[in-house]
A and B are shown apart, each in its own frame.
Chain A
Amino acid sequence: MRDRASASGWRGVALIAVVYVYFLIFAQFAFLTRLAELGVDGNALKMVMAAMAAGGILFSLLTPRLRVVPEPARRLRVGLAICAVAALLTLLPLGIAAGACVAFLIGAGLGITTVTLVTHLRQWTGDRRGIVYVGLGTGIAYLICNVPPVFTAAPEEQAILAATLCLIAMLLPLGSEPHAPEEYTAGTRMSFPIALVSFAALIWLDSAAFFIIQHTPALKSGTWLGSVHLWTNGALHFLAALASAALVQSGRARVALALAFAALGFACVLLQHPALILSASLFYPVGVSFYSVALVAYPSFLTRADSPEDRGRQAGWIYAIAGWMGSALGIGMGQNLGHVPLGFVVVAGCVVLAPVIVTIVRGSARETAVIAGAGAVAFVLYALMPQQASETLSPVERGRQIYISEGCISCHSQYVRPNSPDVAMWGPTESMEELHAQKPPLIGNRRQGPDLSQVGLRRSALWLKAHLMNPAEVSYGSPMPSYAFLFADGRGNDLVAYLSSLHGPGEQLQREREEAWSPTSAALASANADEGRRLYQRHCATCHDAQGATRLRWLGYWRIVPQTLPELRGYAAQQTLGRIAVISRFGVFGTDMPGHEYLNDQQIASVALFLKLAPMQDVSQTSTH
């Protein structure tokens, strides 16, 4: 008879959590770091890892066949004890041979523990909510591993933690009576071969992505470094594990695996683009947790097994082939290629999604036929349409296409309304003929940022590039995203060429207008040097402060290096307030100094007053942004 503890399932949750923590934080992580500390690398490292894989494969396959320790609880304790001892042995100064022996021990311990655990898991979780407990145990394990003090601990500390958890698990009251299996009825069962290849494909993807992230500093810093990242990863793992358990429990194991592939495959594709590392870091943990739950739940609850031995044999094959071999192949891919090829993601997708796709196609034959037919017709029509190769376009034309592609029109207009305040702010008006000559006119309907129809008159190419690379650094408070990724290839320079080309023939007239402008007398009267200092800090210091972020970043590129504040004050002392206001508002033509057209007269007058009148001790109070 099962006791109350078994019915509550907490022992199952604890056992799954301990084994996963051991595997994730120690076998897959701390042990490798420890080997690196001991100077085991290159071919020696490969040999050591091969020993671990050999131990894992051998004992995954042997465990259901061995009669030495027939009682499940005792066999599980033996496996946990081997794991604990192996972890503690890594604290010693191991050489290559000793390292290989310990690695073999780790693999053997894991092989015995995992196969025994899933074969008899119902004994410790009960049948009714067993899969939910699997999700809970898996989620808790991933969460623990991502707790910053655990994740960032020294490998020796992680080894001690893993060993301690194994020893605690050995002390759990695991019972000794065999559990009478109940038929699990929820949902459609997956056939064993389909499950095997699906898990193999997913683990291959996971291991490759894991290896690449771990060995690429830029990727690692974008995904695993910092408390925020780690807590986010932990939370995503935990939630995805619970979601996966809910799906599997309700008979949608195939959907869970399909979602795991979608998330993992997407993460692998995103990892190839440096700008998308953050997004990849969201998908990767979701994909991993989705399949990790199924990896335990499938052999425990979803296989067709006539006896515990039969269940154990199936679990053994899954962990030997999908687990250990899939993992080794993934690591090999990461080592040799440094990325997951798109073709492999597609093949893996075909393997994992095939059952789901076949089901959908069978149930929606008409829909599939209509979409495929229309898709083919559209493809033919598209292929017949003459296309202009981008190589035949000028940089300005290509830049215009990028402006359209990036949806710049959503935030920037290109239309200066005649006889309106627009002219003073954004430059001369275009004629209707000029406008209609554009294909299409990019007038837009919104100004989250400045109008750009005459931006070539108002901004230098360097300023445009600096702004596109890091908008908030150059323009205080700008909500515009960085377009630094465009400069990884030629697109950024094309966009700068296009923006620089945006100006009409009214340049001379515009310069005269600017020179004739002055703040209103009311604005001059209400100018405030304190406000001017605040505005200077926000809008000017990034270039004019000796340590200004923009100034330093583009130090070798300025046409004229921006003056520092003391130099500015020296210049301002010789100028009228009106002249300083004109420069503050419209910039200096022929240099990289931009205007601040959107500030009102009173603000401009305040900046001018600050530069002209403020005491020298204010210099120390300025800061960069």
Chain B
Amino acid sequence: MDESVRTAEAGRSAGVTAAVQHALGWLVFGNALGVMIAIPLLLPRLNPWLGEWTYGRWMMVHMNTALFGWCSLPMLALLFKAYGADRGSLAPWCRPVVWLWSAALVVGSYSWLQGHSSGKLFLDWSGYARFFFPLALLALWILLAIAFVRNRKRGAGERIKFLARLTGLLSLLPVPIAIFAASSPNSYPAIDPATGGPTGASQLESTLGVVLILLAVPFGVARPLKGVRRTASICCAVFFAECALTALLGSGDVSHRIPAQYLSLASVLVWVPLVRAYYARFEWTPATRRWRTAFLAWWAGLVITGWIMFLPGVLDRVKFTDALVGHSLLAVAGFLSAYVIFILVQVLGEEDAWILNRTWSFYAWNLGVLAYVVVIMVAGWVEGADPAFTIVPGTARNVLYVIRLLTGISMLAGSVEWLLASLALKTKRSVSRELELPGVKVA
């Protein structure tokens, strides 16, 4: 085999493989932490075992590694593929970027455990870690930028793809600075004065951010099918209309009880059928079917329950309760996890999809998440009427928390299986490379 082809394929494999393994490593780590810190809520006598690294400090590690580790690292694999960074002479630099990302999370985790935090949930980056993590983002951007320039010179992209990649690159450029700035204690988004939570306009804005990612990702990893232009046009029209609506709503501190807020937020419901239709206009490998169905189901559940829980009366009852914890889990463990696994399966291709496609772990994860959400929402609904339900734990609360713990163990078991399976990726790939013929690339 031609040496350059061999090097290129080896580099691609190493970068994507590293992103998959690191992502799953952080998933297992985050899940294990979740299980660990759920136990003292049932058995407070075990709290001394944690020493000074108490529940509150571990919570920061748990939440941030879930978001910036598990949910973010698969996007690196996607970007490597989308920008062609995993091919050619750049390929060997993909793995160092993944390692740098994980190193930043290790530094962050240690810093949170040591009590360094900005005080902002999901943006706890503080002190040294607040500089380190944006540098990891910057390193990724530089790698993608070089890949973009290199592939442009080779004429590898068509015009639309070229513009899409350029737009993506320009959009990613401010992210490191944005993360740094957003972690500052001096900035804070608009507040709903009736609940202390985000306003309807903020919720609409963040949902549109997620929608934008959902619309952009397929172009990076899948082949468009006939009719995509029409569906994409409809999606773009709705997207820009909702952006205009967000602008009209403004960014002030506005109550969710104002009809303009909850009625405007209702506009996100249209994305339930639209996202489904949009994803049907791309060619996905058959192995993605199971996780595509799961992610669309979780997306529907997330959007619909998200809007219902924002309604006056409902939000007033569930705010600050376990019900919102359930909704957050639905977002991260349900929708986001199913989505990133779906993307990983697509990036890995048919040959390696098996690591994330085993039946028992699929159900262990998804049924675990579903049961968790149901149980914790029930607990939250009760708590909404009786705060003592949580503050002075009784039998009913403890039973619900035991079930929650079991669902967490179920999710952990599923994720451990994926991680262990992913460790075989390297071996499998090196074997398959040896079977390659000159000029024939491994998918």
The finding on whether chains A and B are genuine partners in a shared complex, rather than unrelated, reads yes
- Residues of A at the B interface (CB closer than 8 Å) are 270, 273, 275-279, 282, 364, 366-367, 369-371, 374-375, 377-379, 381-382, 385, 402, 404-411, 413, 415, 417-418, 420, 425, 432, 435-436, 439-451, 472, 476-483, 485, 538, 598-600, 603
Chain A CB within 8 A of B330 CB = no
The 8 closest A-B pairs by CB, nearest first: A407-B56, A405-B115, A415-B196, A276-B51, A481-B47, A404-B119, A370-B96, A378-B131
Q: Indicate if the CB atoms of B120 and A477 lie closer than 8 Å.
A: no
Closest residue of B by beta carbon distance from A429: B193
Chain B neighbourhood of A451, CB < 8 A: 320
CB pair A481–B54 under 8 Å, yes or no, is yes
With an 8 Å Cβ cutoff, the count of chain B residues facing the other chain is 70
B99 adjacent to chain A (CB < 8 Å)? yes
Whether the pair B92, A366 counts as a contact (CB closer than 8 A) is yes
Bound CA span A409–B185, Å: 14
CA distance A443 to B197 in the complex (A): 8
Residue B219 interfacial (CB < 8 Å): no
CB contacts under 8 Å to A, within B27-61, are: 40-42, 44, 47-52, 54-60
Query: For the complex, is B319 an interface residue (Cβ under 8 Å from A)?
Result: yes
Inter-chain pairs besides A367-B99, A374-B132, 20 sampled, C-beta below 8 Å: A276-B51, A366-B93, A367-B96, A370-B93, A371-B96, A381-B131, A407-B56, A407-B117, A410-B55, A410-B59, A413-B196, A436-B188, A442-B119, A447-B321, A450-B387, A451-B320, A472-B44, A480-B44, A481-B44, A481-B50
Query: Within the assembled complex, what's the spacing in Å between the Cα atoms of A479 and B316?
Result: 25
A371 partner, pick from B99, B112, B195, beta carbons under 8 A: B99
- Which residue in chain A gives the minimum CB-CB distance to B255? A418
Please tell me if B431 contacts chain A, counting CB pairs below 8 Å.
no
Cβ of B191 within 8 Å of any chain A Cβ, yes or no, is yes
A418 — which chain B residues lie within 8 A by C-beta?
193-194
17 A-B pairs with C-beta separation under 8 A: A276-B52, A278-B51, A378-B128, A382-B128, A406-B54, A406-B115, A407-B56, A407-B57, A418-B193, A432-B253, A436-B188, A442-B119, A447-B383, A477-B393, A481-B48, A482-B47, A485-B51
- Tell whether A370 pairs with B392 under 8 Å between CB atoms, given A278-B51, A481-B50: no
Residue on B nearest A432 in the bound complex, by CB:
B253
Which residues does chain A contribute within 8 Å of B40, judged by CB atoms?
479, 481
User: Which of A364, A435, A447 has the most CB atoms of chain B within a 10 A radius of its CB?
Assistant: A447
Neighbouring A residues of B41 by C-beta, 8 Å: 448, 479
Q: How far is the CB of A241 from chain B (nearest CB, A)?
A: 22
- Indicate which residue in A273, A425, A477 contacts B387 across the interface (CB closer than 8 Å): A425
Residues of A within 8 A of B392 (CB): 476-477, 538, 598-599
* CB–CB A485/B59 < 8 A: no
Do residues A417 and B316 form an inter-chain contact, with CB atoms below 8 A? yes
In angstroms, how far is the closest chain B Cβ from the Cβ of A422? 9
Shortest C-beta distance, B107 to chain A (Å), equals 8
Measured CA separation A402–B116 after assembly (Å): 9
Complex Cα distance, B194 from A435, in Å, reads: 13
Q: Mark B354-397, 1 if CB is under 8 A from A, else 0.
A: 00000000000000000000000000000100111011111000
Chain B residues with Cβ below 8 Å from A413 are 196, 320
B188–A420 contact, CB under 8 A? no
B60 neighbours in A (Cβ, 8 Å) = 407, 410
**B44 contact from A370, A410, A478, Cβ within 8 A:** A478
Contacts of A444 in B (CB 8 A): 121, 320
Q: Give Cα A217–Cα B135 distance, bound, in whole angstroms.
A: 47
Q: Tell me how far the C-beta of B371 lies from the nearest C-beta in chain A, rounded to whole angstroms.
A: 20
Report A-chain residues with C-beta under 8 Å of the C-beta of B121: 409, 444-445
Q: Can you name the residue of chain A whose Cβ is closest to the Cβ of B253?
A: A432
What residues on B are CB-neighbors of A599 within 8 Å?
A: 388, 392
| A275-B59 contact given A404-B117, A409-B121, CB 8 Å threshold | no
In the complex, the answer to whether A598 meets B388 with C-beta atoms within 8 Å is: yes
Cβ of A275 to closest chain B Cβ, rounded Å? 5
Residues from chain A with a CB closer than 8 A to the CB of B193 are: 418, 432
User: What distance in Å separates the Cβ of B391 from its nearest Cβ neighbour in chain A?
Assistant: 5
Q: Is the CB of A370 within 8 A of B390?
A: no
* Contact partner, B97, options A370, A442, A472, A482, Cβ 8 Å: A370
Contact A445–B100 (Cβ < 8 Å) = no
A443 touches B96 (CB 8 A): no
